[in-house]
């Protein structure tokens, strides 16, 4: 268990000397926890303590850490072809992965464009959408997003989420987007009216959204019907739709992709995070044939002039193929159902607790919002919750006063119960 969290180790001292960590105020942060190995749902620290990884290490891990099947596939691939430039060259793992993804993605996706992570998958989608209209000589240049959404930390991805506290230092440099409220339960009409009034002015190139859950925005869950009407309205106005499934993809929401639950399908889909099972960075942007065709022509300037050094890295693609093998097994499906069922039972029992403003689940995601005066990512309660769970040997990383569980699918019933028991302690006043 996590007993010596605050003790600096030599690795920690070396870390402090040379590393700047993500999403961290380095001036006030406690020393990082030195992890030396991981197995299944557990992370093991240098001092022998262990942590139950209840957030899949920033939502990437699907089948547990160091899963031997994925390890073996990456090893075998590394012995044959570790990497090759992907302009003018190709390789089997990239082709096989694209074709397998296209066969399971919702909608009429027909081509896959590879990049490196969630933000680049979003950048690619936005650039494709904007260039689609440019190539067709149509003056549509603006983007619509949901208020309180998150699409990544590169400039395009930051812009596409609208102005917020995360990207305040860069507001002057972000391109202009129009935002609408997400179609929360019983507020679908409001979102639709907002969308319609923006669309009526013309000039909109695309609408980007996180389907069914606004992740970093506080695990805000909303039903599919309202989103379906928004997509339909975009289609009527000839506006492209981008489903950012970076977080929701690969079974998190109860279906393989959240867009499966929405009757109208998007024109572009962004994937990353769970794509490789949490082993290697990889991004995918899938699009329809109509979009792909708009980039064909006799001149290079009509092409999509975008790429990254590690585009379609063969190791990452092999990892993603192994991940898909495991994901599509009945046993994995049964695990996801078990997790969803446990979450549901927990919600039924605790949703009316006076300390909770909200307690809900969607598939394998459980979200609890504690009652506080100002709900926000910067709520001081966040640190208390975070360290409370770490002391109990559980890695949960609250978004302000919103606590969520987003576990790897290998998690066992008794481990879920252990997390719930600790959450119940916070409701009973142990925090
Ligand atoms: C919905 C969504 N899109 C994009 C991203 C960015 O992904 P990455 O951190 O891999 O750049 C995230 C990351 O949390 C996300 O949740």
Other beta carbons within 10 angstroms of residue 237's beta carbon come to: 16
pLDDT at position 5 is 45
Residue 251 Ramachandran class (φ > 0 left, ψ -120 to 50 alpha, else beta): left
Sorted by sequence, the CB contacts under 8 Å of residue 87 that are 6+ apart come out as 307, 311
Strand 50-53 and strand 109-115: the pairing is unpaired
pLDDT at position 429 is 85
Q: From ligand 1's centre to the CA of 49, what distance in Å?
A: 29
- For the record, the structure tokens of 420 come out as 């719930």
Instruction: Going from the first residue of the chain to its last (431 residues), give the mean pLDDT of each consecutive group of 10, the final group possibly shorter.
Output: 52 94 96 97 96 98 98 98 98 98 98 98 98 97 97 98 95 96 98 97 95 98 98 98 98 98 98 98 98 97 97 98 98 98 98 97 98 91 96 98 98 98 93 80
Q: From ligand 1's centre to the CA of 118, what distance in Å?
A: 4
pTM: 0.96
pLDDT at position 375 is 86
CA distance 223 to 384: 31
Residue 296 Ramachandran class (φ > 0 left, ψ -120 to 50 alpha, else beta): beta
Name all domains of the chain by residue range, CATH numbers in brackets.
10-66+331-427 (3.90.1150.10), 68-327 (3.40.640.10)
- For the record, the structure tokens of 405 come out as 């569980």
Q: From ligand 1's centre to the CA of 349, what distance in Å?
A: 32
Q: How far is CA 340 from CA 108, 264, 337, in A?
A: 28, 25, 5
CA distance 164 to 153: 12
Other beta carbons within 10 angstroms of residue 295's beta carbon come to: 16
Counting from 1 in the atom list of ligand 1, the atom nearest the Cα of 272 is: 10
Q: Where are the beta strands (DSSP E) in 32-187?
A: 35-39, 42-45, 50-53, 109-115, 142-146, 177-180
The finding on whether 252 has its CB within 6 A of some atom of ligand 1 is no
């Amino acid at each position: 268990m996590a007993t010596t969290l605050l003790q600096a180790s030599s690795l920690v001292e070396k870390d402090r000397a040379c590393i700047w960590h993500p999403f961290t105020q380095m001036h006030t942060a406690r020393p990082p926890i030195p992890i030396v190995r991981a197995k299944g749902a557990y992370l093991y620290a240098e001092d022998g303590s262990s942590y139950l990884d209840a957030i899949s290490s920033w939502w990437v891990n699907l089948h547990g850490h160091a899963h031997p099947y994925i390890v073996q596939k990456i090893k075998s691939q590394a012995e044959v072809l570790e990497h090759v430039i992907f302009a003018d060259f190709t390789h089997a793992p990239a082709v096989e992965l694209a074709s397998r993804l296209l066969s399971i993605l919702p909608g009429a996706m027909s081509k896959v464009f590879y990049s490196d992570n969630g933000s680049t998958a979003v950048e690619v989608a936005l650039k494709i959408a904007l260039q689609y209209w440019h190539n067709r000589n149509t003056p549509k240049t603006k983007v619509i997003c949901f208020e309180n959404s998150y699409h990544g930390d590169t400039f395009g991805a930051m812009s596409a989420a609208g102005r917020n506290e995360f990207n305040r230092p860069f507001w002057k440099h972000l391109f202009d987007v129009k935002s609408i409220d997400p179609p929360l339960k019983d507020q679908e009409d409001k979102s639709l009216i907002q969308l319609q009034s923006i669309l009526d002015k013309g000039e909109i190139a695309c609408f980007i959204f996180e389907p069914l859950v606004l992740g970093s925005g506080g695990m805000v869950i909303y039903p599919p019907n309202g989103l379906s009407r928004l997509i339909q309205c975009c289609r009527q106005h000839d506006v492209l739709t981008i489903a950012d499934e970076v977080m929701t993809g690969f079974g998190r929401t109860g279906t393989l992709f959240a867009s499966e639950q929405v009757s109208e399908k998007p024109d572009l889909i962004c994937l990353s995070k769970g794509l490789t099972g949490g082993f290697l960075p990889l991004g995918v942007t899938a699009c329809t044939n109509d979009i792909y065709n708009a980039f064909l022509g006799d001149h290079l300037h009509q092409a999509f002039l975008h790429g990254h050094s590690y585009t379609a890295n063969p190791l990452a693609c092999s990892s993603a193929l192994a991940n898909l093998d495991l994901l599509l097994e009945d046993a994995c499906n049964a695990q996801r159902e078990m997790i969803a069922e446990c979450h549901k039972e927990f919600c039924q029992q605790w949703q009316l607790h006076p300390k909770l403003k909200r307690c809900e689940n969607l598939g394998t995601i459980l979200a609890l919002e504690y009652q506080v005066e100002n709900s926000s990512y910067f709520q001081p309660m966040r640190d208390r919750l975070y360290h409370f769970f770490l002391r109990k040997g559980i890695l949960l990383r609250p978004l302000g006063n919103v606590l969520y569980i987003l576990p790897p699918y290998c998690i066992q019933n008794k481990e879920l119960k252990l997390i719930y028991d600790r959450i119940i302690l916070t409701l009973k006043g142990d925090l």
